[in-house]
Amino acid sequence: MVVSATSLNEATNLNEYDADFHIHVGRALGKPVKIAAGASLTLENLLHHAAFVKGLDMITVIDGVCDNVLVEVDRLMRAGELTPVSGGGLMYRDRMLVLLGAEVELAGPSGKAAHFGCWFADYERARDFNQWLKTVQKNTQLSSQRAWTDALALQTETHARDGLFIVHHAFTPFKGLLGSCVRRVGDFLDLGRVDALELGLSSDTEMADRLSELSGLTFVTNSDAHGVANIAREYNRVQMAALNFREVAQALNRVDGRGIVANYGLHPEQGKYYRTRCRACDELVQEGGCPCGTTRHHVYGVKDRLEDICDLPDALHPAHRPPYFHHIPLLDIPGVGPGTYRKLLDAYGTELAIRRTADESGLVDVVGERLGSSIARALNGDIRWEVGGAGTYGKVIL
């Protein structure tokens, strides 16, 4: 998307907002949307949870372009729950900016597929993109469907509607552009028309900045949530002048002081594709192979893939790259179940507020000394890992 500069006066009044730009919808109008997502992940549930439980300021409903989701969006607009915003986007209950997007699958040059995000400024552009998708997809009711077109056409159709084009979970072995399709972004896409690259749950900035080709791109960290509990497990701190789509576009393209000022994400070791693992024997694959003696069930890990394709021995961070803060989702901390989680929310308000303001003494007051101390250690990064791989998340060891 071509983004124009704003006035100097506007650029001096910047605020920081928390955003998760990749949340799926499980069902709409009672029918499946994202097959792998939970049935409880409805549009209304995800909006409420993102705003009032997680405490986010912005989200992208990445299935917002699907047929039945568009119908539900229209209903919420008519009911006054979603209100169009000057500059683009929809405001949910005067609390959270909502962008509508699509996750689209394309076949790569070697036959393997990758996922891409296309975000739009308003309902009308999202609906128009839906009509175009009907010419290249078999089923626009479902998320993440294969489009029978090429990458340059998808970039063109997205930007023709003033949309934003994002590489999704770039390094994952299934549907990741660099994880399975190509060794360089430029082998598949017009790099100059990529608005941002999503790192995915098994990588971070330190890993990704070993690819010099990516130095000019903005990195985003998003949850790719398939259930309400996973919303904001990764998110971005974004500096902008106001909550609207135009400002988001300027932030991704780093215009007039706008930008991503912090990435918050999982420790890569917790990601379910961090290391190469054998699905047959569930062992990590070392240099000598695994106990099975076969490679047929190996799932290539993100760390190992990056070692293979990187062109820098160490990360080289460009000046615009913000800090990356590793964290652990609260419900992944040993001992934190639904009851404890509710106590913490009652005490602090939202999950992001817990992360920002909770200290050990406060946590002990809420949940007791032993668990409170454990949560504080986990939030401070005082942990060890049983690393993830082959679709199994890493486990936290306190």
Domains and CATH numbers, the chain: 8-268 (3.20.20.140), 330-382 (1.10.150)
Cβ contacts of 369-378, under 8 Å, gap ≥ 24: 371/335, 371/336, 371/340, 374/333, 374/334, 374/335, 374/398, 375/330, 375/333, 375/335, 375/336, 378/328, 378/333
Alpha helix positions (H), the chain: 8-11, 43-48, 67-78, 123-133, 151-160, 205-208, 245-252, 302-309, 338-348, 351-357, 360-367, 369-379
Q: What is the pLDDT along the chain (398 residues), one digit of tens a residue?
A: 656 555 444 546 999 999 999 999 999 999 999 999 999 999 999 999 999 999 999 999 999 999 999 999 999 999 999 999 999 999 999 999 999 999 999 999 887 999 999 999 999 999 999 999 999 999 999 999 999 999 999 999 999 999 999 999 999 998 999 998 999 999 999 999 999 999 999 999 999 999 999 999 999 999 999 999 999 999 999 999 999 999 999 999 999 999 999 999 999 999 999 988 887 776 677 766 777 777 767 788 999 999 999 999 999 999 999 999 999 999 999 999 999 999 999 999 999 999 999 999 999 999 999 999 999 999 998 888 888 888 888 888 87
